[in-house]
Amino acid sequence: MAYNVHDIRKQFPILNQEVHGQPLVYLDNAATAQKPLAVINAISDYYLKYNANVHRGVHTLSQRATDAMESVREEVRVHINATEAAEIIFTRGITDSINTIAYGMSNRIHQGQNVVITAMEHHSNIVPWQMLCERTGAELRHIPMDEHGELVINGLEDIVDHNTAIVAFNHISNTLGTINPVEEILSRSREVGAWTLVDGAQSGPHAQVDVQSWDVDFFTLSSHKMYGPTGLGILYGKRERLEAISPYQGGGEMIATVTLEKSTYAGLPHKFEAGTPHVEGIIGFGAALKFLNEIGIESISAHEQNLLEYATEKCSKIEGFRVIGNAKNKASVLSFVVDGIHSYDLGVLLDQQGIAVRTGQHCTQPIMDAFCIQGTVRASFAMYNTFDEIDSFMSALSRAVTMLR
């Protein structure tokens, strides 16, 4: 079936509006994607028909809510090809997922060992590891990046060594769009027995991931970047790894027995799901996954790739336009500066013309430092963006640049 962007757009009513008197062109998808009717309807359906707390009640509504939630766990398992549904943990988001692992490893890591990240991580995949290293005396290392925004992996043997406890890195950079060489890094990590975590924040909506073929220990996704509700993350972990670490949040739902002196933890996945889960979010995410898979991640990413190439070529005609991140393998993100013009100024004038982009550092200050820039403008594409929208973006950008020069 041919990719029909106009049919897809009909599923996203929010796109059909004006901002400052201009048709909205939403190009801030790497920050969050818009939600299709299927997701909005699934959430309201839950509240209209079967809202109840899960896992606790014997009554019918509670059973229905529990079944709905648990069937999403199974759908996520299928989506990333995990071995069993108990390896899928619902978290508050990727930040929460990474903190869960970083905190959980506290007792497994000591001085003399190291943790490896890369030079292009989101703050959420830097700070939890810095905190872990401060607690334990371990060393934090990073895989460097070159001027194109690609990881330099020819020195990997020296960075990932026999003292490496975990290697944690992103699949696709939120700021540069770089698709990282996941399998090379995973393979070196396995050689030395290091644990591995891949941050799939940006890959979720653009790439199909098979955690068993990767043989990765932990993988994490963000619902709201995959057209699902906010406040929900997915943490996949191999059973033996999840069993080896301690939960960092205690409370209801995550225990087997509780006395006033001591509690024992529940089994997977509940051990890591303290408190009432984000039931509406999980149900909405189930609808998002279904929606995504019906259109097909491969068709979506092919469409986005065409948009990215078209936008890059068009914008390059603007004098002083400089792409930040020229990796050979890139997905869906066009980050750029225009020489002599502040990214905030461009952001304001683009917004005036109905164009939503992100400006600033994108929670990746180390990348800005590496490129010696204050910030970038980032246009990021999704399944519903059109070539006409790129044309609008391009002419709005030209107008802004002319005004600001």
Partner 1 sequence: MATIQEKQQALIQEFELFDEWMDKYNYIIEMGKSLPTLPEDKKNDDLLVPGCQSKVWLHVEKRDNKIVLSADADAIIAKGIVAMLIEVFSDQPAKEVAGAQMKFIEDIGLKDHLSPTRANGLISMVKQIKYYALAFSA
Which of 40, 356 has the CB closer to partner 1?
356
Active site residue 372: no
Which residues within the stretch 346-375 sit at the binding site for partner 1 (CB under 8 A)?
348-349, 351-353, 360, 374
376 binds partner 1 (CB under 8 A): no
Q: Which amino acid is at 322?
A: R
19 binds partner 1 (CB under 8 A): no
Catalytic residue among 133, 315, 363, 372: 363
DSSP letters for 199-252: E-TTTTTT----HHHHT-SEEEEEGGGGTS-SS-EEEEE-HHHHHHS--S--ST
For 95-109, b where at least 16 C-beta lie within 10 A, e where not — what string? bbbbbbbbbbbeeeb
Rounded Cα distance, 197 and 169, in Å: 7
> Encoding tokens for residue 8?
């897809």
In DSSP terms, 341 is beta-bridged to 338
Which of 145, 341 has the CB closer to partner 1?
341
387 binds partner 1 (CB under 8 A): no
Let me know if 258 is exposed, middle or buried by CB neighbors in 10 A (0-12, 13-18, 19+): exposed
Instruction: Pick the piece of the chain touching partner 1 (CB under 8 A) from 160-168, 180-188, 293-301, 341-349.
Output: 341-349
The correct pick among 44, 49, 60, 344 for binding partner 1 (CB under 8 A) is 344
20 binds partner 1 (CB under 8 A): yes
Which of 60, 374 has the CB closer to partner 1?
374
- How many of the chain's residues bind partner 1 (CB under 8 A)? 15
Q: How many CB atoms lie within 10 A of CB 296?
A: 14
The correct pick among 37, 61, 258, 403 for binding partner 1 (CB under 8 A) is 403
The correct pick among 70, 215, 345, 391 for binding partner 1 (CB under 8 A) is 345
Whether 396 contacts 353, CB under 8 Å: yes
Binding site for partner 1 (CB under 8 A): 20, 341-342, 344-345, 348-349, 351-353, 360, 374, 399, 403-404
Q: Which of the residues are catalytic?
A: 363
